[in-house]
């Protein structure tokens, strides 16, 4: 009961000044420019490759051995990527100016990751993780929504002891490119990182952990049925890492959005759409273990969901939230059950915001409470 009371005391949303929102949006564009120049040197060239009737950009870079090294760039349907391909030689980058912008935004109260999480994310970004369409998820991703939506979010909702990344299996299998060995990338930040063999298949690794217990984990959506649950999936693009199969994750990482992590000169990342993140947190909160750690994680899930419901409604993104809810609701009984169970424990302000967005489609809380009361 105490946890529920604390969650109901969530502060009202405060919007960020328009000048800072504009700066955040400009920084997001500049970090993509900077990452693009880093990934694709001027001495190379872009080519189109058609895969299953869809066109993709790849980049060929000559090597001293005389054989071009080919790297994945992205789908031609991604307008931001295609625009940069066409203007490649005109792109400019000013790292010092980007650092100044990050510093200004952080002083204005916009959140960023702790230094260690920032170092981890930046190292993986520089290695090509987000170029290969992986998605930053969890509380590190949550910190980007303040600038994206233009609201202030409490730092207490962002504390984390790990970093989670997800990639769609079909993308990992289809890009025909890969990171360098993930363990090498992580050990460049902390030599004490070690691979953690998966319990169900000790030949595969989905997580890495250092001596202080900081954990980096890779996840993917459960494909088709529950037969993959609890088993690791090999992920060709993840530099030797596999990924843990999780239900509901395909929904979370569908059509991610590009933004900037406020760390150093800014880190260009892909994160879940905020409305999907909020709805997903509502579902997973209902599936946490009931031990102390599980309850703490569920409370954090619900706090983040509530804050995003409020932010989305107050910044006039009701329609996106409504569509995200409807998609999850229509996926079947287990999805409906997860949504309803999460809704029963959602802080009051989050319930109000969600109800405002959904209108007549909002589930009847009194009826749900009656159905769950012991007889």
pLDDT along the chain (375 residues), means of 10: 43 84 96 94 94 93 86 94 93 95 95 94 96 95 95 78 92 93 97 93 93 95 66 92 93 96 97 98 89 86 95 94 96 93 94 94 85 65
Residues 179 and 233 in one domain: yes
pLDDT at residue 161 in the model: 75
Q: Quote the tokens at residue 285.
A: 């909160």
| Nearest alpha carbon to residue 298 among 290, 310, 306 | 290
Residues 214 and 284 in one domain: no
**H or E stretch including 325?**
helix 318-329
Domain membership of residue 12 (yes or no) is: no
Domain membership of residue 361 (yes or no) is: yes
Q: What is the DSSP letter of 151?
A: B
Residues 154 and 257 in one domain: yes
Question: Is the separation of the CB atoms in 251 and 263 below 8 Å?
Answer: no
Using the structure block, give the residue that is written with the tokens 């994206």.
148
Residues 170 and 262 in one domain: yes
Residues 92 and 104 in one domain: yes
CA distance 148 to 77: 22
Domain membership of residue 365 (yes or no) is: yes
pLDDT at residue 288 in the model: 86
Residues 265 and 122 in one domain: yes
Question: Is the separation of the CB atoms in 77 and 57 below 8 Å?
Answer: no
End residue of a domain, out of 272, 297, 332: 272
End residue of a domain, out of 220, 254, 272: 272
Domain membership of residue 3 (yes or no) is: no
Q: How many CA atoms lie within 13 A of 11 on its CB side?
A: 10
Using the structure block, give the residue that is written with the tokens 């967005």.
357
pLDDT at residue 52 in the model: 86
Report residue 8 CA to chain centroid gap: 26
Residues 129 and 249 in one domain: yes
pLDDT at residue 296 in the model: 87
pLDDT at residue 84 in the model: 94
Domain membership of residue 185 (yes or no) is: yes
Quick one: 116 exposed, middle or buried, by C-beta within 10 A (0-12, 13-18, 19+)? middle
Domain membership of residue 5 (yes or no) is: no
CA distance 118 to 75: 27
**Report field, pTM of the whole predicted structure over 0.75:** yes
Residues 138 and 93 in one domain: no
Domain membership of residue 341 (yes or no) is: yes
Residues 80 and 96 in one domain: yes
What's the total number of domains in the chain?
3
Q: Please name the residues in contact with 182: beta carbons below 8 A apart, sequence gap of 6 or more.
A: 124, 208, 218, 238, 239, 240, 241
Residues 62 and 151 in one domain: no
Q: Please name the residues in contact with 319: beta carbons below 8 A apart, sequence gap of 6 or more.
A: none
Residues 22 and 167 in one domain: no
pLDDT at residue 291 in the model: 81
Domain membership of residue 2 (yes or no) is: no
Question: Is the separation of the CB atoms in 222 and 246 below 8 Å?
Answer: yes
End residue of a domain, out of 65, 93, 108: 108
Domain that holds residue 367: 273-374
Residues 137 and 242 in one domain: yes
pLDDT at residue 1 in the model: 37
pLDDT at residue 370 in the model: 80
Q: Strand, helix or coil at 362?
A: coil
Report residue 262 CA to chain centroid gap: 14
């Amino acid at each position: 009961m105490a946890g529920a009371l604390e969650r109901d005391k969530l502060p009202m949303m405060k919007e960020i000044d328009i000048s800072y929102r504009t700066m955040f949006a400009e920084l997001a564009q500049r970090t993509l420019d900077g990452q693009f120049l880093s990934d694709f040197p001027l001495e190379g060239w872009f080519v189109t490759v058609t895969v299953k009737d869809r066109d993709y950009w790849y980049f060929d870079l000559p090597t001293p051995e005389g054989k071009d090294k080919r790297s994945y760039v992205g789908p031609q349907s991604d307008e931001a990527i295609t625009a940069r391909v066409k203007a490649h030689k005109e792109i400019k980058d000013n790292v010092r100016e980007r650092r100044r912008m990050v510093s200004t935004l952080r002083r204005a109260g916009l959140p960023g990751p702790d230094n260690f999480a920032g170092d981890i994310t930046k190292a993986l970004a520089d290695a090509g993780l987000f170029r290969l369409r992986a998605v930053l998820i969890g509380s590190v991703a949550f910190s980007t929504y303040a600038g994206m939506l233009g609201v202030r979010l409490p730092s207490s909702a962002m504390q984390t002891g790990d970093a989670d990344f997800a990639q769609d299996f079909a993308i990992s299998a289809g890009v025909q490119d890969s990171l360098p060995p993930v363990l090498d990338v992580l050990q460049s930040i902390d030599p004490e990182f070690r691979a953690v063999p998966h319990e169900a298949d000790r030949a595969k690794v989905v997580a890495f952990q250092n001596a202080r217990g900081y954990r980096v984990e890779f996840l993917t959506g459960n494909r088709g049925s529950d037969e993959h649950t609890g088993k690791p999936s090999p992920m060709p693009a993840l530099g030797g890492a596999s990924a843990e199969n999780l239900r509901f994750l395909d929904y979370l990482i569908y059509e991610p959005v590009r933004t900037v992590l406020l760390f150093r000169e800014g880190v260009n990342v892909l994160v879940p759409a905020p409305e999907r993140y909020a709805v997903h947190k509502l579902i997973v909160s209902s599936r946490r273990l009931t031990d102390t750690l599980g309850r703490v994680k569920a409370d954090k899930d619900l706090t983040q969901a509530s804050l995003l419901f409020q932010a989305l409604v107050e910044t006039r993104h009701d329609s996106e939230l409504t569509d995200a809810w409807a998609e999850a609701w229509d996926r079947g009984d287990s999805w409906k059950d997860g949504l309803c169970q999460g809704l029963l424990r959602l802080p009051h302000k989050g319930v109000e915001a969600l109800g405002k967005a959904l209108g007549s489609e909002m589930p009847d809380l009194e009826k749900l409470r009656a159905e769950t009361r012991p007889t």
